[in-house]
A and B are shown apart, each in its own frame.
Chain A
């Protein structure tokens, strides 16, 4: 699978490029797959573990979980800047994956709300550290014309891990009932295996001897870089006007379309569609341009919102519509946006460029959750969803206009 340690990026292959992605991309996909098995097997059991065996109130867990979003943003930007400054994206990613692996072991020894909270915060920090450097490594190992496909392959492998994780957790707990320590240990081992693949099979980007060092000024200059700024702004606006998954699932439940016990299956369905479409839509983005695919991914949400608004009694059809739309949305946006950020950022500060765009989207989505919650409380769910749907429909052409001309760089 990762036979090619020495991966030579094919440079200057326009358009469709070669039909296969490089060994480095497959290695990074394997790293993400193993790490997602590790983190999702823990995420799947954490609510039960905390409430049933530690006696922590679920509401306290929600607070613990939400508290560290802010620090995660700072860590993400800081780590990306440092990765660029010292030209060490791989070292930064190793640090992030390593920290998360340590945290899984930490769960074995941690008991009590404060300790668990600290471990989960460190785990999030690790995720913040690694995401942008990893995407920069994917970009560096792929031909410019094949970025969409490379990110598609990576995201498909990543999602496979996210789907396998809960299955591993359930199987393990059936075999060793109540043995959460063994589960955390197995999770840590998956994380260590991912780390080992990263260390062994992903090369650090080597620089031509005598190349001038990257200056902090170049990193901060990104904020003034027009293409990057435009993509970040577009990502933030689109993120803000997108109803988060949690709320979309909740709206399905409010309509009686799905029982709460089957809630996890909504996530499985969304991830399944994402998994199937990540590569085809990534390739489509390589062929027709990233921006149209990105916008089409958001447009795919509109029928789902319409269905939730106008067909509240459609039952399973509504579930299929919403889950399918969310899957298409992720497949058309997550990897595609990373590819867009990677190709628009100056090469020396690519990690920071990717981090900036991803942070903007994350900030938009966080604000979206708060805004939607406020609107829901103030005026009820129907007006809240209608407002989001109309705003997204209006924003899409505006964003299309604001991103005009970017294709020149992509082609």
Chain B
């Protein structure tokens, strides 16, 4: 471009337009962000005031009766903390622990809590707890918490996380599932399921490099369990043994299983042939028969059993608000699901011992 004087005036005008655009963009954005921040601060203050007015139960009182352990999403400073809700009044007051988790699972005698430790590079951690929610050990996790489970009497725990590479390079996604032995009070990892011996139903080894395991559900107190094997775009139901460190494919098209207390039924996600969406279905372990549940929503959860019914968390309100409710449904008897515990997610039912 040549710099003759005829172009000087338009150049100056363009510079002014540029400066106006920059001032408008920067000023507008900063103002908007300050307003948002102010809104956040006020909302937090209002939620804190709300929470101060709520009735809370004593932890020991709730532990003495059948209760559901959840991640409470009630707005307020305690949002994200573990809460205990009595099953005879699930929408009523709750007991709240000073323990923040992304995922929590509990049983008689033990609990596991998956946490995010914020920072420039966020860190993730599994905290193992005894029946009184005292820490017995912890383990660093290599990615975003996804699923957590403990066996019925607290002998084993399982954790699943998403391992993410950086999206800038290649979108590398996989899961990592670890089973931990809690029996002697000192949590001992039994290793990543990918390092265990996995076989197809016909006895041949599962050796695909893209194999992923997630969503462990213990049969009773273990060491038997169900889990998901993902490979080649398909999801298979596997049966595993934590002491033998073996896994065997038992059914096609089943993800995120949860086995009933009597071991007869597995509620898992299967792929709808038309919409390709994952839908909840009840799988009869002895006959292989499947009964589709009356749940039309996408459920990003592994269900928890309560007698012959199941509980699961479903997001409520705006997609990114983090709010959720725990719903209850009868997997075999049909009927519409209903809200059991409002403002909660990640449920597990704990029935105190005699």
Give the B interface residue count (CB, 8 A). 55
B300 — nearest CB in chain A belongs to which residue?
Answer: A55
Known: A6-B2, A259-B140. A267 touches B169 (CB 8 A): yes
| Given A55-B300, A182-B33, A49 contacting B167 (CB threshold 8 A) | no
Q: A261 an interface residue at 8 Å Cβ cutoff?
A: yes
Per-residue interface assignment for chain B, residues 109 to 128, with 1 indicating a CB less than 8 Å from any chain A CB and 0 otherwise: 00000000010111110000
Q: How far is the CA of A8 from the CA of B4 in the complex (A)?
A: 12
Does A73 sit at the interface, judged by CB under 8 A? no
**A-facing residues in B27-75 (Cβ within 8 Å):** 28-29, 32-33, 36-37, 40
Supposing A200-B18, A250-B172 touch, asked if A175 and B37 sit within 8 A by C-beta, the answer is yes
Inter-chain CA distance A264–B121, complex, in Å, is 8
Residues 41-71 of A contacting B (Cβ, < 8 Å): 43-44, 46-49, 51-55, 58-59, 61-62, 65-66
Distance A247 CA – B173 CA, assembled complex (angstroms): 12
Contact flag A6-B11 (CB < 8 Å), given A186-B33, A376-B209: yes
Closest residue of chain A to B21, judged by CB?
A196
B contact residues around A216 at 8 Å (CB): none
B1 at the interface (CB under 8 A from A): yes
Q: Which of A62, A175, A185, A265 contacts B121 (CB 8 A)?
A: A265
Which chain B residue has the least Cβ–Cβ distance from A49? Answer: B320
Residues on B with C-beta less than 8 A from A373 are: 209
> B274 within 8 Å of A by Cβ?
no
Q: Contacts A6-B1, A6-B7 known; A54 to B319 CB distance under 8 Å?
A: yes
Known contacts A59-B230, A259-B142, A267-B166; is-contact A189 B29 (Cβ 8 Å): yes
Interface residue ranges of B289-346 to A (CB < 8 Å): 298, 300, 315, 319-322
| List of B residues within 8 angstroms of A52 by Cβ | 144
Are A260 and B25 in contact, CB atoms less than 8 angstroms apart? no
| A192 B25 Cβ-Cβ under 8 A | yes
> Is the CB of A295 closer than 8 A to any CB of chain B?
no
Q: For residue A162, which residue of chain B has the nearest CB? A: B168
Report if A343 contacts B (CB, 8 A). no
Contacting residues, chain A, for B123 (C-beta < 8 A): 261
Contacts of A250 in B (CB 8 A): 165, 172
A59 to B140, CA, bound (A): 23
B14 lies within 8 A of chain A by Cβ: yes
Chain A residue numbers with a CB within 8 Å of B1 are 5-8, 203, 206
Q: Does A292 contact B (CB under 8 A)?
A: no
Closest B residue, CB atoms, query A171: B120
Would A261 and B121 count as touching, CB distance under 8 A? yes
Chain B neighbourhood of A260, CB < 8 A: 142-143, 163-164, 176
Contact A263 B315 (CB under 8 A): no
A173-200: CB near B (< 8 Å → 1, else 0) gives: 0111111111001100100110011011
- Distance (whole angstroms) from the CB of A382 to the closest CB of chain B: 13
Provide the bound-state CA to CA distance between A43 and B22, in Å. 24
A interface, over-half SS:
helix
Are B167 and A65 touching (Cβ within 8 A)? yes
Q: How far is the CB of A351 from chain B (nearest CB, A)?
A: 18
Interface membership of B184, Cβ < 8 A: no
Residues of A within 8 A of B230 (CB): 59
B121 to chain A, nearest CB (A): 6
Residue of B whose beta carbon sits closest to that of A374: B209
A:61-107 near B, CB below 8 Å: 61-62, 65-66
B322-A263 in contact (CB<8A): no
Whether A179 touches B36, Cβ cut-off 8 Å, given contacts A6-B11, A262-B121, A267-B169, is yes
Interface range, A side: 35 or more
Q: A61-B173, A192-B25, A245-B169 are in contact. Are A200 and B15 (CB under 8 A)?
A: yes
Interface presence of A16 (CB below 8 A): no
B196 contacts chain A at the CB level, 8 A cutoff: no
Taking a contact as CB atoms under 8 Å apart, the answer to whether B22 and A196 are in contact is yes
Known contacts A7-B1, A189-B25, A200-B15; decide if A261 and B124 are in contact (CB<8 Å): yes
Set of chain B residues within 8 Å of A178, measured between Cβ atoms: 320-322
Contact at A200–B171, with CB atoms within 8 Å?
Answer: no
Give the CA-CA distance A409 to B300 in the complex, in Å: 60
B244 at the interface (CB under 8 A from A): no
What A residues does B162 contact at CB under 8 A?
Answer: 47, 51, 58
B168 touching A5, Cβ below 8 Å = no
| Chain B positions within 8 Å of A51 at CB level | 144, 162
| A66→B170 CA distance, assembly (Å) | 9
Give bound CA distance, A189 to B31, whole Å.
13
Partner of A43, one of B14, B36, B168: B168
Whether B26 is near chain A, meaning CB under 8 Å from some CB there, is: yes
CB of B98 within 8 A of chain A?
no
Task: Report the Cα distance A7→B121, complex, angstroms.
Answer: 42
Given known pairs A55-B298, A200-B17, A376-B209, the reply for A186 and B29 (CB within 8 Å) is: yes
With A55-B298, A261-B142 as given contacts, are A6 and B170 in contact (CB-CB < 8 Å)? no
Report the bound CA distance from A192 to B20 in whole Å: 13
Task: Indicate if B210 sits at the interface (CB-CB under 8 A).
Answer: yes
Q: List 15 A-B contacts (CB under 8 A).
A: A8-B2, A47-B173, A53-B322, A54-B319, A58-B162, A58-B173, A176-B36, A178-B321, A192-B25, A193-B22, A206-B1, A246-B172, A249-B166, A265-B121, A267-B169
Interface residues of B (CB under 8 A from A): 1-3, 7, 11, 14-15, 17-18, 21-22, 25-26, 28-29, 32-33, 36-37, 40, 118, 120-124, 140-144, 162-173, 176, 208-210, 230, 298, 300, 315, 319-322
Given A5-B1, A51-B162, A200-B17, 15 more contacts at CB 8 Å? A8-B1, A44-B166, A51-B144, A54-B319, A175-B37, A176-B37, A180-B320, A182-B36, A185-B29, A186-B33, A189-B29, A244-B170, A246-B169, A261-B124, A261-B141
